[in-house]
Amino acid sequence: MPVLYTLTVFEVLTSVFTALLIIIILYYKWCFTYWKSRNIPPTRKPKIPFGTLIYPFLETPVHIAIAIKNAYDNLKKRSCKHGGGFLFLTPKYVLVDPGYIKNILQKDFEYFSERAFYYNEKDDPISANLFAISGEKWRTFRTHLSPAFTSGKMKMMFSNMLKCSNEMVNAVLKNENKKALDVIDITESFTIDVIGSCGFGIDCNSFKNSNAEFKEQGKKAFRMYPFRILKIFLGFYCPKIADFLGVTLFGRESNNFFIKIVKDTIKFREDNNVNRQDLLQLLIELRNQQILKSQEKVFTIKEITAQVFIFFAAGFETSSTTLSFCLYELALHEDIQNKLRDEINTVLNVHNRHLTYEAIMDMKYMGQVVDETLRKYPPVPYISRRCVKDYIIPNTVIKIDKGIEALIPIMALHHDSEYYPEPEKFIPERFSDEEKQKRLPFTYLPFGEGPRLCIGKRFGLLQTKVGLAVLLKHFKFSLHGKTKVPLQIEPFSFTLLAKSGIFLDVEDIIAK
């Protein structure tokens, strides 16, 4: 009689594990045929389970924008106009050709009207802001908020910006000759104070109190830590699970802080008949008009808070990093710094030594320096658009399916030698009127483009220029030994940040 062989528990478990592993690998391989079946070239060979855009633990960690730039460069070498990548199992459509980018951001906006950004209005009200929302709600808020950022409104906010910039000068003077200036810290304080004043009508006093609550909340909005990375992953790749679990991107503490600030400010203004020229006042007036007209839909306190929060959060990080990177480049290039300072003084002489809105507008080289900073260090180094209905690429039979996220690699475009020769060099003259006219459209996108162009573009540029003008009028900047050259980019951040900080030596040129 034959002897039956009995499998041990270990052998059974090993067989089950092996079978599961084979099934998972086959499933991944099937998923990775997505772009090939649509005749769209791959960004590179996928690695299980990470996909093609990032290989964590297999290579040095880099910012996701650099990973997307690598994909862009790989496609460009192969003369591809676009390509398909994967972030884990999720397909991502990577744009290369400026014409294709124009179609998605502007011409065919109706097909790509959403940002691929998770928000949870119920548990995380401030996440449901103008940046993230879509559809009719986005159009309503966009229409109502746009008047807050006209050139006329910028003129009205100018005096607040100037006041904050003078406080920044005083803070730098206190630091002079004591230690290297922490440029990121000083510019964060400046932008927090400007936004607190122009957005909320609040004096944040960040220079007098380095741990001011507004500043701490601004940092929290962008701070990355393991648990938050997990929440972001859930929100972006498993949104239904994130909704079920009540995942919050910004946390209950931040939500409670900003909702309380808005509630208290509205109550104070209404009780004391106070009317200020800021973003919050505009939203208060819109809400009051809705109530007077007995409209069915009235802006809630949470909806108002979400809009002023994104103005605060986005303006804080993007403007402070732009100002920091600009000062770094000026310290590195003394000739450019001197040329810009000469322009500032020349224009001030024309305006009776008064720094006014009109004076800032007359500083043409200032505009070129800031534009070149935004080219080399775009604070938002890539943007995304979600396909909201099946889209056929013009003049092809290629279809982009509804739900696919298109990636516009801003940093890659800005560092493409076809559009910007010697892209790693800091050359403000790239943005003279003559050079700009030669350049292909949709190759310079620091604020995005199309209907979802950054609504705060004018505000961000103005506060950066005011800060620069006041600092360069008073001080000369040079590199300190603590600053690493070239700068390394922090891999775990929303925006572009200098990994080891930016430290400069400062010389008071007015005192001399």
Positive or negative: CA dihedral 389, 393, 399, 401 = negative
Contacts of 371 (CB under 8 A, 6+ apart): 428, 430, 431, 444, 446
Preceding amide of 486 cis, omega within 30: yes
Q: Are strands 383-386 and 405-408 parallel, antiparallel or unpaired?
A: antiparallel
| Cα 117 to Cα 128: distance, rounded to the nearest angstrom | 10
| Cα–Cα distance for residue pair 220/254, rounded to 1 Å | 8
Helix (H) or strand (E) holding 447, with range, is: none
For residue 337, how far is the Cα from the chain centroid?
26
CA distance 439 to 428: 14
Three-state DSSP state, 405: strand
Q: Encoding tokens for residue 10?
A: 């270990």
Q: How many CB atoms lie within 10 A of CB 487?
A: 20
164 is annotated as contributing to ligand binding: no
* Separation of alpha carbons 434 and 427, rounded Å: 14
Any residues with CB less than 8 A from the CB of 496 and at least 6 apart, and which? 63, 65, 321, 325, 377, 378, 379, 381, 411, 489, 490
**Burial degree of 280 (CB within 10 A; 0-12, 13-18, 19+):** buried
Cα distances (angstroms) measured from residue 177 to each of 186, 206, 508: 16, 21, 10
Question: In angstroms, what CA-CA distances link 341 with 139, 330, 367, 389, 505?
Answer: 42, 10, 13, 51, 17
For residue 349, what is the enclosing H or E element? helix 334-350
Measuring CA to CA, which residue among 403, 512, 458, 433 is closest to residue 90? 403
Residues placed in the known binding site: 454
Residues placed in the known binding site for heme: 454
